[in-house]
Structure 1
Amino acid sequence: MKTLHPSIARKAAGLSLIELMIAMVIGLILLMGLVQVMSASRAAYQLSTGVARTQENARFAVDFLQRDLRMAGHMGCVNDQSHMAPESPGSTDASRQGMNLWFLTKAQRDARTFTALSGTSYPLRFDMGVQGFEAQGTSPQDTVTLTDGTPVAGNANQWVPALPTAIADLKPVPGSDIVVIRFLSRDGVPATLASTSATNYTVTPEAYGTSVSTTDSTGLFALADCQQVSIFAADAISAAGVITVSNTGLNKSGLVGDEWSFESTQNKPVLYRAETVVYFVGVGEGTNVDGTKPPSLWRARAIATAGAVKFEKEELVEGVDSLQLLYGMDENLPVALPRGNIERVRTAAAVNTAPTNNPTNAQADEWRRVGTVQIGLLMRSSDRSASEQAAVTPILLGVKMQRGANDSRSDGHYRSVYETTVVMRNRLFGN
């Protein structure tokens, strides 16, 4: 039998148990370090993604709000303030001669009874270019506790004034303000108005501008010049852009006091689309990694079809914890035209001394004094991050936004405040 040399035996013996355990410990330490590096990298990536996403969403949301708010009250050649101003202080509502809404009967138009446009007809109150609804408990210096998880839609009485049914049906979530904006489209084209009978009419735009009536139509239109504006719902629109209108469905009257201005062949009125849009915060359509749905900013647009008007909503951006609005009001009293000097800032609940969702003409005059709107958006990342929650409580237009009781909840969402002031260019200079 062959005997191995001692040195060869030692080389063939392999690792001892102690050496193996030491190697395993070193390997585990290295692996733990690698896991820590990976975890830190993942947290940093989530945080940077959340920051970038909130910034992108905030820019997009502010851009949409700015574009529509700047158009508030645009009624063609002159604005809603001029069309709705009484002839003299203390005169009757019947002296408001510049705006004709075909959605009213002749008697209602003669008396300027715009409050008749309530309920499902609320979107048609084009006498008010802007109107806000203040979420209860969200005035400056108030404290709001943010919702954890999927937000829940509120009821109409959680805003001041209470929401009209048409807006409540959009299912906004409480804790955020709501604003309604009405205006005529930026693009307009000269058009010819013709009466085919006492109750039927055609509106024919110039050939180069048929897109006014055929592109992205709401079914609501206006004819305007520097003396008056008439707003109506279309029955049909031909391929050539010719609009057919009758005194049926949404239209309760037609050419009542409009003919003397609009049937001129020399100075034709201009055709516009009529727009009513609502901005609010609602439950988003997407789903986060944790299974919850984020709060999102929505834009609803009034569409007239089949003799009725309703809001069609679209989700703009997700991750909007709260929308807060403040309204800058002109110094002049409602009985006189505004001067463009903003001297006071009010919440929607304080614009009128007795807030109502269907204002009288005198109350609507207060809303026609609004010349600027301050926008505040509290944005958050869609998904939660492993990063430590910031210790500073966000303040949004004077409203403290806390996470849980005493701001003690750490939910992992990155949050940032974005604020800006929008000037209503159709309001400040009395045009």
Structure 2
Amino acid sequence: MNINKMLKNKGFTIIEMMISLVLGALLLGGIISLFTNNQQTYRIIQGTANLQDNARFAVDLIGEDIRMAGYMGCLSNLSNISLKNVLNNTGDDFAYQFNIGIEGFNSNGATWAPVLPAFISGMAPAPEANTDVIVIRRVIDNGASLVSNNPSPSEDMKIEDNTTLEDDEIVIISDCTKATLFQVTSANIQKGTGHINLTHNAGGKFTPGNKNEPLTDGPGYNPGEASIYKFVSNVYYIGRAQDTNGNNINNNQGNPVLSLWRRQAAAAPVEILRGVENLQILYGVDTTAGSPDGTIDQYQNASAVADFNRVITARVELTVNSIDAIGTQGDGVLRRTFSHTVRLRNRGS
């Protein structure tokens, strides 16, 4: 046997093995660190992108509603016309105050100014302290012309078949000099006529229902001059996020998750977007003494606005977050605040 060949084929020494292991560990540690950092960077970039998308959706949703706040078809100045509400008084009258197109409430801790009406304070979930609540009332279509009308509560009216109406919907009828808010008790398409037959009977199975009185106290609505419009009342606010069983939701750190909520008329509030933790609104108000001149004099929070019918613009500020902790600063939750100013349609110069 050739001893020299055996010596030449010997393996690694212990020192060489230890050096190799140390170098491998260092290399592996670097790879793991790089992978972890890349993952963290990806989470932050993805979280920031989601924040922007969520904020854009929320701002667009509220902004479009604000832009149309107070829109009542051909009615340009609700203070100079005859208004009548024939809905029953069921405690939900706040939702149907269609002479006030936009209205806000500001919280300073547990104190709200103006004081929250029961319609809002009784919502579940309740509005969060130190946030704002905004209420928008308007019509949401272009209207359907009146073809024939019987003003008695027990009789019907016909409108053009160019809109979708369902039983129990709240609508406004207007001829640009007067307007009445009432509830549809039946809406039936009359085949072959191009008309929809509407009734507005008193009582019935719907809430709030109509009073037993005509739509006007004076001259009725004339065919060809009046139209029917769908009416909507939306309340936007910040409240606790909830699961399908109504239980409050916490994030991965055990902290409460907040959401943007919307309540339409007397229906239950609906969670619109999770991860919206604050809503603040400033109102651009025409404070000119006497008759308004249509220009913004001051931006005020809701508690300082004396007359919401003088609001010309609204500056919406939304703070959205990543819900769960994905960062390393503070509580680890990413936050961004977005601001957008919206002019109300047909208000101001």
Interval containing the TM-score (normalised by the shorter chain) = 0.7 to 0.9
Match of 1:194 in 2: 149
Aligned residue for 1:350?
304
Of 183, 208, 232, the residue aligned with 1:233 is 183
Q: Which amino acid aligns with 2:320?
A: M
**How far did residue 280 of structure 1 move?**
0.6
SS in 1 for 2:267: strand
- Which one has more relative contact order, counting CA pairs under 8 Å at least 6 apart? 1
* 1:343-362 Cα shifts (integer Å, max 9, x gaps): 1221111113xxxxxxxxxx
Question: Residue 311 of structure 1: which of 263, 267, 277 is its match?
Answer: 267
Matched, 1:260 2:219: yes
**Letter of the structure 2 residue corresponding to residue 417 of structure 1:** T
**Partner SS, residue 24 of structure 2:** helix
Q: 2:263 matched to which residue of 1?
A: 300
Report the equivalent of 1:90.
none
Aligned residues: CA RMSD: 2.5
**What is the aligned counterpart of 1:332 among 284, 288, 304?**
288
**Match for residue 426 of structure 1?**
346
Q: Tell me the secondary structure at the aligned position of residue 271 of structure 2.
A: strand
Distance in structure 2 (CA, Å) of the matches to 1:101 and 1:383:
46
Contact 1:281 1:320 in 2 (8 A): yes
Structure 1 position 277, deviation (Å): 0.2
Q: 1:247 to 1:332 in 2, by over 3 A?
A: farther
* Partner AA of 1:245 in structure 2: H
Query: How much does 1:293 deviate?
Result: 5.3
Name the amino acid aligned to 2:130. Answer: G
How far is 1:32 from its partner? 0.6
The 2-side partners of 1:238 and 1:127 are apart by: 29
Equivalent residue pairs, number: 332
Give the conservation status (yes or no) of the 8 Å contact 2:326–2:334.
yes
2:157 equivalent in structure 1: 203
In 2, distance between residues paired with 1:118 and 1:427? 32
- Do the aligned partners of 2:156 and 2:199 also contact (CA within 8 Å) in 1? yes
Are 1:280 and 2:233 an aligned pair? no
User: Does the CA contact (< 8 Å) of 1:72 and 1:426 recur in 2?
Assistant: no
Q: Which of 187, 206, 227 pairs up with 1:270?
A: 227
Structure-2 residue corresponding to 1:415: 335
- Residue of structure 2 in register with 1:183 after alignment: 138
Counterpart of 1:101? Answer: 85
Contact kept? 2:252, 2:324, Cα under 8 Å = yes
- Gap runs ≥5 in structure 2: 191-195, 244-248
Q: In the aligned structure 2, how far is the partner of 1:195 from the partner of 1:261?
A: 8
Matching residue within 98, 102, 105 for 1:126? 98
Look up the match of 2:118: 165
Output the CA distance in 2 between the equivalents of 1:235 and 1:29.
Answer: 77
1:183/1:193 CA distance change after superposition, 3 Å: farther
1:368-387 equivalence runs, <5 A: 368-386=309-327
TM norm structure 2 = 0.86
What is the CA–CA distance in structure 1 between the aligned matches of 2:252 and 2:148, rounded to whole Å? 56
Contact kept in structure 2, 1:133 and 1:161, CA below 8 Å: yes
SS of residue in 2 equivalent to 1:174:
coil
Deviation at 1:331, TM superposition (A): 3.2
TM superposition shift of 1:332: 3.5
Partner of 2:169: 219
Using the TM superposition, give the Cα deviation of residue 52 of structure 1 relative to its aligned residue in structure 2, in angstroms.
0.6
Matches of 1:164 and 1:22, distance apart in 2? 76
CA contact (8 A) 1:218 1:273 kept: no
Q: TM-score, normalised by structure 1?
A: 0.71
In 2, the alpha carbon distance for the partners of 1:201 and 1:342 equals: 46
Closer, same or farther in 2 for the Cα pair 1:284/1:11, shift >3 Å? farther
CA distance in 2: counterparts of 1:20 and 1:76, whole angstroms: 85
| 2:209 aligned residue (220, 229, 250) | 250
- What amino acid sits opposite 2:275 in the alignment? G
Aligned identity (percent) is 29
Partner of 1:135: 107
